[in-house]
Amino acid sequence: MANTCESAVVTCEDFRLHQKPVGENKIAEFVENLGESSDIITRGGGIKDLVRPQQPGFRKSLLKDIEVSINLHEISTFFLINHEDCGGYQDLEFDTKKEEINQHKDDLEEAKEILKKRFPSIEIKLCLARKKSEETWDFKIEKLDN
């Protein structure tokens, strides 16, 4: 009997999304709201390794993890989730919050295109975790497309 699940989430490893001292786990809440089983694939910078890997082999490693989810767990949908205030993006030195958000959106779109070329039968959905305010670690995950 195969172990299957409907979707996978590719996101940043940042603790603020996964496990905060108060016990909140935004990624777990997101998956729970999907109402389906999901693999979780984490990387510093989320999908940044697909669009601008900082080291040789980073893109290949992330693609391998994605391929394992597809082949082993028969994934049909991937959710790509980046987040604002990401340390993996600090090398880009944004001048404004709008510039940062636009970069994440552009990178998510580019990652979607890369994955669609390699895995054409997989549905790709894009999301961005936005901070509720500058004074908090609380994020809200917003779907960017349907």
CA atoms of 114 and 125, how far apart (whole Å): 13
Domains by residue range for the chain, with CATH: 7-143 (3.40.1050.10)
Whether the pTM exceeds 0.85: the reply is yes
**What is the identity of the amino acid at 115?**
L
Measured CA distances, 73 to 33, 41, 68, 76, 143 (Å): 20, 13, 8, 9, 24
Pairing of strands 123-131, 139-143: antiparallel
- The radius of gyration of the chain from alpha carbons, rounded to an integer in Å, stands at 15
What integer best gives the mean pLDDT of the chain?
90
pLDDT digits (tens, 9 = 90+) for 79-107: 999 999 999 998 888 999 999 999 999 99
Least reliable range by pLDDT among 38-42, 58-62, 115-119, 128-132? 128-132
User: Which pLDDT does position 126 carry in this prediction?
Assistant: 97
